[in-house]
Amino acid sequence: MVQIPKQQPAQPSAALEAVSAGPVAPAGPARGAVPTSADVARLAGVSRATVSYVLNNTSAVRISEPTRRRVREAAKELGYVPHAAARSLRAGHTRIVLMPTPEVPVGPLYSGFLNELQWALSRLDYTVVQYGSVGLGGEDAARAWAELRPVAVLAPVAMGPDGIGILKRSGAKVVITLGPDPVAGTHALIMDHREVGRAAGAHLLARGHRRVGVVMPREEGLDMFALPRLAGVQESGAQVVRLPLAYEEDDAARAAAHLRELGLDAVFAYNDEYAMLLMRALQDAGADIPGEVAVIGADDLMLGRLLRPRLSTVRIDLPSGEELAGLVDRLVRDPAAAPEVRDVLVASTVPREST
Amino acid sequence: MVQIPKQQPAQPSAALEAVSAGPVAPAGPARGAVPTSADVARLAGVSRATVSYVLNNTSAVRISEPTRRRVREAAKELGYVPHAAARSLRAGHTRIVLMPTPEVPVGPLYSGFLNELQWALSRLDYTVVQYGSVGLGGEDAARAWAELRPVAVLAPVAMGPDGIGILKRSGAKVVITLGPDPVAGTHALIMDHREVGRAAGAHLLARGHRRVGVVMPREEGLDMFALPRLAGVQESGAQVVRLPLAYEEDDAARAAAHLRELGLDAVFAYNDEYAMLLMRALQDAGADIPGEVAVIGADDLMLGRLLRPRLSTVRIDLPSGEELAGLVDRLVRDPAAAPEVRDVLVASTVPREST
């Protein structure tokens, strides 16, 4: 049996590989110890570098198929897994794409979008990691994120130019912001929720409604969507009154009474779920919809079609996950590309019976 | 000015630190290069090891507060971020807790649970990473996950004992499965959805309904919840008919007609959303609820309270995120603890007007 030295030089040649490729050695890792590439090398009878070349699918070095097979079998037998961290130390970055974990419960539309994107990036061999930034400000979040050495980051606009600079200096090749505005010097997918309010406002005006209540959820964290939606309704030229509303039946009864006292003739209800809540309260109080008050939601959820009267809504289209994954991949390969800014949120009215 | 050598020995003493702690040197990293701890050391006028001790908050070495401050300021000025990978290579694992990204859209209940858990773990200084296992089988997923060297993993039961072995041999101190059954040799949080079906079945029987349709969503990925819920209704002693149902209005009209033909007197509708869909189809077809057909959902969503008749449902309680985060932390500190198996899903009926 060929005696395999415990540690092989870091740069093997094809000749060295031929010498070290002997029969399988019996030695395994100590019981309970994490198996290392040295253990795999010993068991497969090859050098550690050969193990690394085989398991990382390096094509630069010619290694015979039987040797490759022996290495893979030894790795499997020992339960050896390459260390992503070690790989990333060599490469300067990982194949990780970081996405922020939403800090508020997001609807089926946005979570479907995130899911699809995750699948599409995985198919391109990226590791998608959702990372919370709980309790951290912009730059602190950026520093925490940068520790993982992601190759690309989909960042909230709130991270700001300084945070984005931290990520880039730590090796991120691509930072794409998601939000209402671009951040100078980096790519941006603009999701402008004013479009949603503008579509709702224009629809209500076209149907002859002038005095419009706009639901503002009292739940924390929703202002980032609710404020631009409100601004959009205001821009449409309607006369606007804010209607704060918690997602509970008592507060809906109160809001329904209040909007009838004010004599409003329409409501843009933030989204379909708040619309369903408020519509029920209005109906329980005897209001005719849309005769006395028209109601429009947003998001085009199934539930709107099931209500009577059927709920008018604003449909929101986002880019497909595949499209966005392709963009990330293209920018990773061309990190010097000029900042791309894309408007990705498209809003369109779905008129039904409630307006 | 004290000249700081580029590379310091790995093990500094307090004396060495005192020597190297000179005034701030002007040198920064080359333009565009990723700043390293050597750059921070040069700027702060200390050794690299001191930089490491300060930024990792090591208490084993005494370092004066002014020195600590100088290091932190230099790191901030240069935009230096420690490399999680390098730290994990030293420690053998990271502070990462891996959770599987749900592969199907999950309802507000489960996503709220995951959100809360994420916050609670972050407060305990863990980095929570949601990781997809798209298109990977049990062991392949385990190998992909193991590359990140997580300290703890919340794993789906489908990962199996071999997958869990791979994770443990790669240094994970804790693997906790989430699912209907425990996996031998590791901790388990049992979420037994048969409880949900049992509660629904018992409620319907108590109200005199014997012939029960059970909605089976046609949407992919939901069988892992739907099958045990069905089994639970069967265990309750009711006479059960499966009702396949896609989440769309046409299929709901078809299912409603079918269940009336069969003369079923009740439906357990999988969850509140499918219940709303089917109830609307039954009402549109002129069926009296609950006179002709009783309907019960699950999840206790707000929408059930807004329907007329108000929807009976099964409320599901899961442990608080804080409680579960505490368990993870305790097990990380005591990785030799005997496997803990906890039943965490509690189901209770919320009777309203639809049954």
Residue A1 belongs to some domain of the structure: no
Same domain, B113 and B221: no
Closest-CA distance, B116 to chain A, in angstroms, reads: 10
Name the 3-class secondary structure at B244.
Answer: strand
> Count of alpha carbons within 13 Å of A320, Cβ hemisphere only?
4
Mean pLDDT of chain B: 83
Name the 3-class secondary structure at A68.
Answer: helix
pLDDT score recorded for residue A104 = 62
CA A153 from centroid of its chain's CA atoms: 10
ipTM above 0.85, yes or no: no
Choose one of A82, A114, A137: the last residue of a domain.
A82
Q: What is the mean pLDDT of residues A87-97?
A: 67
Q: What is the mean pLDDT of residues B158-165?
A: 85
CB-CB under 8 Å, B83 with A147: yes
> Count of alpha carbons within 13 Å of A8, Cβ hemisphere only?
25
Candidates A122, A149, A306; nearest CB to B85:
A149
Residue B104 belongs to some domain of the structure: yes
CB-CB under 8 Å, A146 with B81: yes
pLDDT score recorded for residue A86 = 65
**In this model, does residue A31 exceed pLDDT 50?**
no
Choose one of B82, B110, B129: the last residue of a domain.
B82
Same domain, A288 and A200: yes
pLDDT in tens, A283-303: 999 999 999 999 999 999 999
pLDDT in tens, B218-230: 998 789 899 999 9
Residue B202 belongs to some domain of the structure: yes
Residue A11 token pair = 């740069």
The DSSP annotation for A289-323 comes to: TTTT-EEE-SS--HHHHHSSSPPBEEEEE---HHH
Same domain, B207 and B69: no
Same domain, B326 and B302: no
The DSSP annotation for A270-288 comes to: SSHHHHHHHHHHHHHTT--
pLDDT score recorded for residue A127 = 79
Q: What is the mean pLDDT of residues B290-304?
A: 96
The pLDDT-based confidence of B132 (bands split at 50, 70, 90) is: low
From CA A45, how far away is CA A51, in angstroms rounded? 10
Count of domains in chain B? Answer: 3
Q: Which residue has the tokens 């807004």?
A: B306
The DSSP annotation for B262-308 comes to: TT--EEE-SSHHHHHHHHHHHHHTT--TTTT-EEE-SS--HHHHHSS
Task: Give the residue from A55, A134, A278, A279 with the most B CB atoms within 10 Å of its CB, the best one to mutate.
Answer: A134
pLDDT in tens, B93-112: 678 888 877 666 566 777 77
Q: Which residues in chain B are closer than 8 Å to A303, comparing Cβ atoms?
A: 273, 276, 303
What angle is formed at CA B262 by the lines to CA B258 and CA B267, rounded to 5 degrees? Answer: 75
Same domain, A303 and A240: yes
pLDDT score recorded for residue B31 = 47
Same domain, A309 and A333: no
Same domain, B42 and B66: yes
Where residue B78 sits, what CATH number does that domain have?
A: 1.10.260.40
Q: Which residues in chain A are closer than 8 Å to B86, comparing Cβ atoms?
A: 85, 89
pLDDT score recorded for residue B42 = 92
**In this model, does residue B56 exceed pLDDT 80?**
no
Same domain, A96 and A73: no
Q: What is the mean pLDDT of residues A231-238?
A: 95
pLDDT score recorded for residue A57 = 66
Choose one of B30, B52, B82: the last residue of a domain.
B82
pLDDT score recorded for residue B2 = 35
Residue A122 belongs to some domain of the structure: yes
Residue B237 belongs to some domain of the structure: yes
**In this model, does residue B25 exceed pLDDT 60?**
no
Residue A280 · residue A297 · CB < 8 Å: no
Instruction: Count CB neighbours of B45 within 10 A.
Output: 21
| Segments forming the whole domain that contains residue B76 | 14-82
CB-CB under 8 Å, B127 with A144: yes
Instruction: Count CB neighbours of B181 within 10 A.
Output: 11
Q: Which residues in chain A are closer than 8 Å to B302, comparing Cβ atoms?
A: 247-248, 273, 277
Residue B260 · residue B287 · CB < 8 Å: yes
Q: What is the mean pLDDT of residues B26-36?
A: 56
Where residue B149 sits, what CATH number does that domain have?
A: 3.40.50.2300
Q: What is the mean pLDDT of residues B146-156?
A: 85
Same domain, A261 and A250: yes
Same domain, B202 and B308: yes
Residue A4 belongs to some domain of the structure: no
Candidates A81, A130, A134; nearest CB to B130:
A130
A37 against B1, higher pLDDT? A37
Name the 3-class secondary structure at B125.
Answer: coil
Same domain, B265 and B169: no
Q: What is the mean pLDDT of residues A330-335?
A: 92
From CA B170, how far away is CA B223, in angstroms rounded? 32
Same domain, B164 and B259: no
What are A38-43's contacts with CB under 8 Å, separation 24+? A38/A6, A38/A7, A39/A78, A39/A80, A40/A71, A40/A74, A40/A75, A40/A78, A40/A80, A41/A4, A41/A8, A42/A4, A42/A6, A43/A74, A43/A77, A43/A78
